[in-house]
């Protein structure tokens, strides 16, 4: 992908979130950067908060920092020295978008989580001060629910989540008829097999890199995968699917709270013939139910990305709007870094014809400048 400068004019439709109801007065809180001795407390707060996600955790921070080198700025709202709010952010000095704060890059979640309105406002005010000090044009907040009443909501992304059945034997029947038939044929007709284990990580990443080139998308570097796996022991699965002794699909799945979240998938060009993608997701669903998880979180899709959007609906998942918000400093415009931006059209068309070693190497470099 080209990293030449592009106009930073937001083209996505925006809406203003509904005003929050009045809340009882609470004592003031102070905001401080997360210190090393409070990391366990931070993660405990994220795990206990109903809107806390994997992307708020210290594990995601470590993987992004190690793989991409961005400066992390994690803010905690404190009241009586107890965490009552959290805002994870990274400072990105992008050659394409300028200096921006992102909560959080390469993730589908982030943004402010807090116990009350006062903590939310305190965190946002602190973020705006940091943005001003760091000469940032934009704060990108990837909350599932819009938390700030005076910041526009970006109506571009939707999420897909669904409660799984209680018994493994019911998972196949839980899928819609056509998706069920595809997954059943993959197992019974094509005799696909699945294997779980971290030893498959490089192979899964290799297939992911092939898929990203085919989709004209950036390939995140292998080290990002390696760090994520290292920082989430017992909270991830790496799986591959084989057909006639050849690996045709790979998947990296994360586990958080009660959810199974398939995140990185890769397939060969032959995978569609044997419905390998349907089968590898079915295997993750069945293992999730067997392991006691309740929710299958299919992540997000752009509304205009019909391939991903339609595949998830094909599997019985209904879209729900995500409350992403962009705060833009006075005198600036929010950057349009969507793959659908016409400025990227030629680069994306060229991308699919480049050698894999080029898309892997160049993709990792360009990804440092696009938050994903």
What three-state secondary structure class fits 87? Answer: strand
Give the E-state strand segments of the chain in sequence order: 14-15, 30-33, 71-79, 82-94, 98-103, 113-114, 138-141, 153-154, 157-163, 193-196, 236-243, 246-256, 259-267, 295-302, 320-321, 325-328
Q: Residue 25's pLDDT is what?
A: 63
Does residue 63 sit in the same domain as residue 146?
yes
Q: Residue 9's pLDDT is what?
A: 28
Short-list 342, 349, 281, CA closest to 316: 281
The residues, ordered by sequence, that sit 6+ positions from 355 with a Cβ below 8 Å of its Cβ are none
Distinct helix (H) and strand (E) counts, the chain: 11, 16
Q: Residue 24's pLDDT is what?
A: 54
- pLDDT tens, residue by residue, 28-70: 889 999 999 999 999 999 999 999 999 999 999 999 999 999 9
Burial class (CB in 10 A: 0-12, 13-18, 19+), 341: middle
Burial class (CB in 10 A: 0-12, 13-18, 19+), 197: exposed
Q: Is there a domain that residue 371 lies in?
A: no
Q: Is there a domain that residue 342 lies in?
A: no
CB 235 within 8 Å of CB 254: yes
What are the two backbone dihedrals, phi and then psi, of residue 186, each rounded to the nearest 5 degrees?
-60, -40
Q: Residue 256's pLDDT is what?
A: 98
Write the CATH number for 84. Answer: 3.40.630.30
For residue 148, the enclosing domain spans 14-156+324-335
pTM for this model (two decimals): 0.90
Does residue 315 sit in the same domain as residue 200?
yes
Short-list 239, 200, 247, CA closest to 222: 200
Short-list 84, 74, 91, 86, CA closest to 36: 74
Positions in the chain whose pLDDT score sits under 50: 1-16, 18-21, 23
Does residue 152 sit in the same domain as residue 254?
no
Q: Is there a domain that residue 369 lies in?
A: no
Q: How many separate domains does the chain show?
A: 2
Q: Is there a domain that residue 361 lies in?
A: no
The residues, ordered by sequence, that sit 6+ positions from 196 with a Cβ below 8 Å of its Cβ are 237, 238, 239, 287
């Amino acid at each position: 992908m080209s990293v030449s400068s592009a106009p930073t004019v937001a083209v996505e439709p925006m809406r203003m979130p509904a005003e929050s109801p009045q809340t009882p007065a609470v004592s003031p809180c102070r905001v401080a950067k997360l210190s090393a001795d409070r990391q366990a407390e931070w993660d405990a707060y994220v795990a206990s908060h109903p809107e806390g996600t994997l992307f708020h955790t210290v594990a995601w921070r470590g993987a992004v920092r190690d793989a991409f080198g961005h400066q992390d700025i994690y803010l905690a709202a404190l009241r009586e020295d107890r965490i009552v709010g959290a805002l994870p952010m990274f400072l990105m000095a992008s050659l394409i978008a300028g200096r921006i704060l992102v909560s959080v890059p390469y993730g589908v979640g982030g943004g402010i989580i807090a116990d009350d309105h006062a903590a939310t406002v305190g965190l946002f005010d602190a973020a705006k001060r940091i943005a001003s000090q760091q000469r940032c044009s934009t704060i990108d907040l990837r909350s599932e629910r819009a938390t700030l009443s005076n910041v526009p909501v970006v109506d571009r992304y939707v999420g897909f989540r669904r409660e799984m059945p209680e018994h493994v034997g019911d998972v196949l029947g839980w899928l819609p008829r056509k998706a069920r038939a595809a997954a059943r044929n993959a197992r019974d007709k094509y005799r696909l097999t699945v294997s779980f284990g971290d030893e498959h990580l490089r192979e899964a990443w290799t297939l992911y890199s092939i898929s990203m080139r085919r989709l004209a998308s950036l390939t995140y570097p292998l080290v990002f995968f390696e760090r994520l796996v290292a920082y989430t022991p017992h909270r991830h699965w790496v799986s591959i699917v084989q057909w006639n002794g050849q690996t045709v699909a790979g998947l990296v799945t994360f586990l958080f709270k009660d959810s199974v979240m398939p995140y990185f998938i890769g397939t060969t060009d032959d995978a569609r013939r044997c419905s390998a993608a349907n089968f590898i997701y079915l295997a993750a669903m069945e293992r999730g139910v067997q392991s006691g998880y309740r929710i299958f979180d299919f992540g997000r899709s752009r509304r205009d990305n019909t391939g991903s959007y339609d595949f998830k609906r094909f599997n019985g998942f209904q879209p729900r709007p995500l409350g992403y918000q962009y705060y833009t400093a006075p005198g600036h415009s929010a950057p349009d870094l969507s793959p659908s931006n016409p400025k990227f059209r030629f680069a994306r068309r060229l991308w699919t014809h480049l050698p894999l070693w080029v898309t892997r190497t160049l993709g990792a470099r360009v990804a440092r400048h696009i938050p994903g």
